[in-house]
């Protein structure tokens, strides 16, 4: 699936592209203006040089001429032939003097600018048309000057563009930091954290979003509280008639004739199973309602002690629990005590029910969480993978609903923890172990 680009990257690319386009357009306009100005400057220099040379040539010709005849050679100072070349010609086109141009220029003897494929030429002439001075400037010199000027403008851009990308990314990230803050705030919201988002620290463009999220959180919190209250009340309402029916059945079992005791015992077992199933279904309903996360951190070790002591007082867990808490261990987590009690009770009841009678169940508590291990045959990997599904049961003859580990899995996910199942446990050849990392 295609990945979605971040707003920072998209804005940085868009802004850098727009700035770069404007820079290159400005560079093109600058080169165009530079070319026009260079043409004016070079033409002015060529024209001024030609007119000054014409004055010298005309003066020398007037001094040395006789009877209106012009000398065949006029001596004038040499120019820098690297840039300018000149020719002195009479009205017939005969060359009287030259510097760096032995062949006559292929342009007419008319005052003004002319151009060949390689030179820009200015022709200056006397008033009577007897003498002409032509000064030529090579076009490659102008192209070289234009190229050097354009390069001087381009080179800074090659360094400015990467620098602009970096600067734009920093500015965009700083500008979009409230968006990231709002995203992180919304990401932390779940059934255990429905506190409203602080709108005061957000810019006005994002306050409408935060306000809408807060309204949604308030409605969700109200719905969850109503569901939790209904679930809690339903638990009491279901326990009471089932407990009453079970008590009446147990009393009836002691009073009926021996021929009816077997059927009465079956009714008792059915009511016991119904009571356990109703309890598990109500726990599952509470887990689905999202009761795990608390707004405040709570110490879970007292909850562990209460649950284990309660089970040790029952016939199922009497004398069978080995609880080991590592020294210095604390279990302070933002988790509701009742949700942790449901997780722990399901783990311990499963371990007690699905292990041999009078076998020991080991409970190990450390800073990372809890491990519960019991004796059992080795369970295949494909069966282990399905044990956290609803109504899934392993290869056991013990009674049960198949909901215990499913409830644990759902609550551990809400606690942002991790549930792992292993058979056999690490370092053993048989048994079953469940680890909850919180």
Sign of CA dihedral 427, 431, 432, 438: negative
Cβ contacts of residue 288 below 8 Å, gap of 6+?
A: 410
Q: Which tokens is 405 given?
A: 């580990």
Question: What's the pTM?
Answer: 0.51
Length of the chain: 438
CATH number listed for the domain at residues 7-144: 3.30.450
Alpha helices in 256-356 (DSSP H): 258-288, 301-312, 337-353
Question: What is the per-residue pLDDT for 236?
Answer: 66
* Cα 161 from Cα 41, distance rounded (Å): 32
| Boundaries of every domain in the chain | 7-144, 188-291, 293-438
Question: For residue 84, is it left (φ>0), alpha (ψ between -120 and 50) or beta?
Answer: beta
> Along the chain (438 residues), what's the average pLDDT of each consecutive run of 10 residues?
67 85 88 87 86 84 56 49 77 79 82 87 85 87 86 84 83 82 79 74 82 85 75 70 80 78 81 77 73 80 89 85 86 85 88 85 88 86 79 70 80 85 84 88
Domain boundaries 293-438, CATH class: alpha beta
State the Cα torsion 314-317-319-323 to the nearest 10°: -120
Q: Among 375, 392, 373, 374, which residue's Cα sits nearest to residue 384?
A: 392
Q: Which tokens is 278 given?
A: 């109703």
Burial grade of 103 (CB within 10 A; 0-12, 13-18, 19 or more):
exposed
Cα angle, residue 299 at apex, residues 375 and 190 outer, rounded to 5°: 95
Question: What is the per-residue pLDDT for 79?
Answer: 53
In order of 50, 61, 70, 91, the CA distances from 65 in angstroms are: 21, 6, 5, 15
Question: What is the per-residue pLDDT for 1?
Answer: 41
Give 199's DSSP letter.
Answer: -
Is the previous residue joined to 424 through a cis bond, with omega within 30 degrees of 0? yes
User: What are 380-389's contacts with CB under 8 Å, separation 24+?
Assistant: 384/421, 384/422, 384/423, 387/421, 388/419, 388/421
Cα angle, residue 104 at apex, residues 130 and 54 outer, rounded to 5°: 40
* Cα 388 from Cα 436, distance rounded (Å): 13
Q: Which tokens is 191 given?
A: 């059934």
- 344 touches 338 (CB < 8 A): no
């Amino acid at each position: 699936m295609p990945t979605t680009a971040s707003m920072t990257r998209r804005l940085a690319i868009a802004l850098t592209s727009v700035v770069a386009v404007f820079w290159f357009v400005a560079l093109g306009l600058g080169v165009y203006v530079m070319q026009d100005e260079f043409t004016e400057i070079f033409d002015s220099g060529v024209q001024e040089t030609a007119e000054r040379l014409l004055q010298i040539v005309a003066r020398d010709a007037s001094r040395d001429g006789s009877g209106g005849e012009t000398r065949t050679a006029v001596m004038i100072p040499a120019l820098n032939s690297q840039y300018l070349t000149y020719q002195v010609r009479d009205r017939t086109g005969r060359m009287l003097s030259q510097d760096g141009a032995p062949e006559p220029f292929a342009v007419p003897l008319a005052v003004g600018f002319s151009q060949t494929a390689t030179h820009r030429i200015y022709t200056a002439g006397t008033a009577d048309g007897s003498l002409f001075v032509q000064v030529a400037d090579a076009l490659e010199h102008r192209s070289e000057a234009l190229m050097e000027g354009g390069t001087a403008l381009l080179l800074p851009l090659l360094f400015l563009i990467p620098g602009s990308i970096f600067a734009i990314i920093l500015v965009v990230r700083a500008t979009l930091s409230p968006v990231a803050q709002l995203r992180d705030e919304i990401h932390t919201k779940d059934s255990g954290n429905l506190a409203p988002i602080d709108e005061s620290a957000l810019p006005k463009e994002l306050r409408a979003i935060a306000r809408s999220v807060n309204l949604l959180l308030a409605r969700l919190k109200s719905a969850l509280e109503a569901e939790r209250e209904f679930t809690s009340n339903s638990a009491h309402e279901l326990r009471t008639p089932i407990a009453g029916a079970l008590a009446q059945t147990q009393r009836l079992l002691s009073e009926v004739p021996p021929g009816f005791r077997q059927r009465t015992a079956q009714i008792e077992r059915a009511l016991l199973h119904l009571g356990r199933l109703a309890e598990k279904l109500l726990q599952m309903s509470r887990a689905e309602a999202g009761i795990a996360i608390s707004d405040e951190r709570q110490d879970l070790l007292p909850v562990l002690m209460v649950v284990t002591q309660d089970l040790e007082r029952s016939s199922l867990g009497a004398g069978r629990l080995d609880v080991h808490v590592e020294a210095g261990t604390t279990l302070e987590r933002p988790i509701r005590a009742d949700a942790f009690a449901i997780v722990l009770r399901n783990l311990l009841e499963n371990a007690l029910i699905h292990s041999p009678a009078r076998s020991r169940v080991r409970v190990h508590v450390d800073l990372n969480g809890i491990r519960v291990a019991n004796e059992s045959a080795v369970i295949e990997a494909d069966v282990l993978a399905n044990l956290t599904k609803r109504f899934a049961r392993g290869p056991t003859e013990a009674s049960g609903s198949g909901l215990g580990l499913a409830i644990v899995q759902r609550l551990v996910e809400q606690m942002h923890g991790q549930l792992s199942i292993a058979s056999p446990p690490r370092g053993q050849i048989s048994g079953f172990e469940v680890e909850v990392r919180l």
